[in-house]
A and B are shown apart, each in its own frame.
Chain A
């Protein structure tokens, strides 16, 4: 379960302090699927960094399963990211010099898994996202959709309970987008909490809850009551 209390992040830009995020109070239950919407500069990326334990809040609290993230050491934060959170980025963020398989293995390397076990699980993950036949390709030899599948396999490799997707389809065409969203929903259906950050209303509309951010604050938090749909309606 995710709980934020008065969460804020303040940056220093030259002489002035800018609140990228202020007074965010959110509760996301385990197994929920939430879209976080907002225009660029609305603070959604900052929120994603905080929820993903990539950064520490400057105000308020972030409780992940009751644990106050702001108080953890950098090493403990790394552990939380490794074991409990999976990331999917807009630009895939795969290691260019490593094969698809090795990219998927990466979180398990840091988790301290042995080579054989690591490779076995990486194969499983690649099969789950339907790209096992490209296991030994380098990212540059894969299409955008394939790269994102590898990234999703990597995000799942650590068996997290929270999947954070930051504009996961932002770099993909509409057909690939549909397939990828279907994959994300399929994963969500297996019990993972899904937090999806997007500026695209069509994509947000496929999720049962939409949180809209504006100027670093929560503007609205609606339950749409839709079940995550496997097909994205595009305008």
Chain B
């Protein structure tokens, strides 16, 4: 009951100095807003990374050629051996626990169907691609052995390409023009969605490696057999590191590297790569957290400052209350409640500002966020703690006054 009266008194006192109260709250407002945005972005990024890992598969290795370096400067690929489609085949056959290894050459092409055209990324690969990426078909079929071996003019298209070129038309068995080549669509990939950097996984065209290399893109790194990447899928529950350690000597041997020569390739674990990105993101979260805590600290000091002013302005009121029977505890509680109400209102406004911030980062910066009730509860708790911590000293000053001195105060 007394608490309710104290809150009413606090609101009254704060209303009596509206501008002052609002200005005092600002520190808390920004602090809490930062906390809420920070938590939302952090959670959103984590969620995104988790989804991306799920999409790419944690048991995928990416092998790409590495240019040799002398004292840090790239000397180009020069005469060094590059990755070939035969390397991919060798990995698939010789390394244990490898489920699939798909060589890939990449490039951009223009596609035309009817009066529509679309520009997209083409990946020349083998029938192993779907297994390597753990990617299914929503329609049609995979490439067959003949198409892979002899370079069939066939394609599998991603959802985005299908939508852009065909709209509502069924793309299976239709002929499209890819650059100057006439190509038959034999399959459509399942949707994968967006990648973390905003790229569209579904904006893709798959063609047999031979066709893409010989008829569309030309040679990679000037060699007939070169590829850009080999994607390796490893059996579930097998250490990626072990498989990578098995692949490395095989490739070194195939590339005829001497013992003192550097690897001509780089093996990356996708999950590692994503974890690194997560670490970079957590650095940003930490920064926001630092801003938030400094803002909250400054806000708390602001509250303490204004409460000290308030106590000294209301010395006479304190005297009156004491005269009619307020004991030191009553007075302490009154000013403590006022400080907490002040910081709590700040937290409430801050939460609203934070939600606006979340909406903004979603709409404008296209950041993925995950709003959490936890953040709300945490900031409310924070505000209460700040109110108590920074309100305690002014409230104690009020409680400690001698009634006679307080009454004498003008």
Instruction: Report whether A93 and B316 are in contact in the complex, using a CB–CB cutoff of 8 Å.
Output: yes
Alpha-carbon distance between A107 and B316 when the two chains are bound, in angstroms: 16
Alpha-carbon distance between A74 and B329 when the two chains are bound, in angstroms: 10
CB nearest neighbor in B for A53: B403
- Is A97's beta carbon under 8 Å from chain B? yes
Instruction: Report whether B327 and A74 are in contact in the complex, using a CB–CB cutoff of 8 Å.
Output: yes
CB distance from A68 to the nearest CB of B (A): 18
* Contact residues of A between 72 and 109, Cβ < 8 Å to B: 74-75, 78-79, 81-83, 87, 89, 93-95, 97, 106-107, 109
- Is B13's beta carbon under 8 Å from chain A? yes
- Is A41's beta carbon under 8 Å from chain B? no
**Chain B residue contacts of A75, Cβ below 8 A:** 327-329
Alpha-carbon distance between A78 and B12 when the two chains are bound, in angstroms: 24
Alpha-carbon distance between A158 and B325 when the two chains are bound, in angstroms: 9
- Is A49's beta carbon under 8 Å from chain B? yes
On whether A158 and B328 interact (CB within 8 A), knowing A95-B317, A97-B16, A109-B5, the answer reads no
CB distance from A153 to the nearest CB of B (A): 12
Alpha-carbon distance between A82 and B327 when the two chains are bound, in angstroms: 9
CB distance from A181 to the nearest CB of B (A): 22
Q: How many residues of A contact B (CB 8 A)?
A: 27
CB distance from A46 to the nearest CB of B (A): 9
Q: How many residues of B contact A (CB 8 A)?
A: 24
- A-B contacts, 17 of them at CB < 8 A, read A74-B327, A75-B327, A75-B328, A78-B325, A78-B326, A78-B328, A78-B330, A79-B327, A81-B322, A81-B325, A81-B403, A93-B319, A109-B5, A111-B325, A115-B1, A158-B324, A158-B325
Alpha-carbon distance between A38 and B265 when the two chains are bound, in angstroms: 105
Alpha-carbon distance between A55 and B320 when the two chains are bound, in angstroms: 14
CB distance from B18 to the nearest CB of A (A): 13
Report A's interface with B, CB cutoff 8 A: 49, 52, 54-55, 74-75, 78-79, 81-83, 87, 89, 93-95, 97, 106-107, 109-112, 114-115, 154, 158
Alpha-carbon distance between A93 and B328 when the two chains are bound, in angstroms: 19
Alpha-carbon distance between A94 and B2 when the two chains are bound, in angstroms: 20
**Chain A residue contacts of B403, Cβ below 8 A:** 54-55, 81
Which one of A74, A79, A154 has the greatest number of beta carbons of chain B within 10 Å? A74
* Contact residues of B between 1 and 53, Cβ < 8 Å to A: 1-2, 5, 12-13, 16
Alpha-carbon distance between A89 and B322 when the two chains are bound, in angstroms: 14
CB nearest neighbor in B for A113: B1
CB nearest neighbor in B for A86: B324
- 6 closest A-B pairs by CB: A82-B325, A78-B327, A110-B325, A55-B404, A54-B404, A107-B324
Q: For the complex, would chain A's binding face be called helix, strand, loop or mixed by DSSP majority?
A: helix
On whether A49 and B404 interact (CB within 8 A), knowing A81-B323, A87-B323, A97-B13, the answer reads yes
Which one of B13, B316, B327 has the greatest number of beta carbons of chain A within 10 Å? B327
CB-defined interface of B160-177 with A at 8 Å, one 1/0 digit per residue? 000000000000000000
Known: A78-B330, A93-B323, A95-B317. 14 other contacts (CB 8 A): A54-B403, A55-B403, A75-B329, A78-B325, A82-B324, A87-B323, A87-B324, A89-B407, A93-B316, A93-B407, A95-B320, A106-B324, A109-B5, A110-B330
CB distance from B172 to the nearest CB of A (A): 78
CB distance from A41 to the nearest CB of B (A): 14
Alpha-carbon distance between A112 and B1 when the two chains are bound, in angstroms: 9
CB-defined interface of B312-353 with A at 8 Å, one 1/0 digit per residue? 000011011111111111100000000000000000000000
Alpha-carbon distance between A154 and B324 when the two chains are bound, in angstroms: 8
Alpha-carbon distance between A221 and B2 when the two chains are bound, in angstroms: 44
Instruction: Report whether A93 and B320 are in contact in the complex, using a CB–CB cutoff of 8 Å.
Output: yes
